[in-house]
Structure 1
């Protein structure tokens, strides 16, 4: 299934995408794609109802993030070998973990706002994992498959000066408002042939900047879920950003940074695409 949330910010309704032109409205069946939905086996429960539902045409509604605000957004740094190389850093021997404020989550086509004091805002197309059940201390990597509700496209927008030059942890360079566009859909694993064979791309103002494939991940999604479960409880609806391929702004010579008026377009094979306008600080 392809789960979406459409409507104005704060008033999105849950739907299942049928195709590019229509959806099945699920708002009479579930309140939202949130912790309660995933924890209660919501995906399995609605599957037959979606198949039997009456399609409704899209009418230009705004697309929200495909999940409600999660308990946590966890991020894995330097998880693509070719991205580590472009930044001049060693391929990590264990996942590099940092967090991102949950209130950074926005829709896939919402504006991205540069924060005050920013000098080096950057982009990162990433595969997002959504957790489907409360998970801790998984026994093995294979068990992690059952803990994944689905996958989505995310843009892990970053402010590199805040992240790299202001000391402390990376979170302050990752947690400005609007810094986590997600969607357009949450795609359930049965719809994806091989999650480690997905092409990824990002264009800035019509110029291709990132071009990669999930096959160059250092740690695959199942390993990451198993690994994280050894250190924390993963709650239903939590989001994991799994790292980015090469082509980020700080990897160019000279470096390239986002500016107001820029347009980012990005996507992952089978998971849809996003488009964000970059706007000035408040």
Structure 2
């Protein structure tokens, strides 16, 4: 018999409401998100992920990126504190700013590492250096950062967000094998890596190391656009900062992302809406999907 897979729908989300700060609390109560993202070739990933974290409701956002693009990112996301690191990631451990980055990792409730970052050992070395310092945080590893599991299983709870191509690279499975048994592949990877795995696609499966799973079928082909995955990861980081668990943040973000795509398709058409437009749909959708008493806050 196949293990139970919980289907994600509006009823599921309303029975699983997100943490909501009280009306008299300040931005600290909405949490701190740390997003480490971008490189000279793909600076927009940091902007997309940071904007999504803000639309998810985080109180304080810090973006960490490479020095050559940091000023532009700071202007594009004026709500964020922006930390500039060397363009050469191999120099990060020796940088004067590394101590500041470690301190920020220790204070954040939601940490996202990877969108738009350069692939290679230098990035993975930074991931391994930072993970032990993320003491209070739910951690999302995306894009290049996910390859740390090819070195060894992670020693703390993290969430990985691969699409099929990334999953094939991380596991050594062919895309055809993944298409035939995506649920089994996600469950096996979660157990082997000791991580929550959100295998993204038209049907997204979220699997835990303990064998639990949640699935969502929906969205549309318009979401298959550059930068779309960065917005999902940013939403997750923002919800983690607000106090959601790894699985809850992933489930809500996957559903919100797909629902935002449906709204944008109705407005603009199935093809041609932009990844940068996805997060702007999220606050209204969160209010719509939350139980009425919680949404009223």
TM-score tier by shorter-chain length is under 0.3
Q: Identify the structure with the greater helix proportion.
A: 2
Q: Identify the structure with the greater strand proportion.
A: 1
- TM-score normalised over the length of structure 1: 0.24
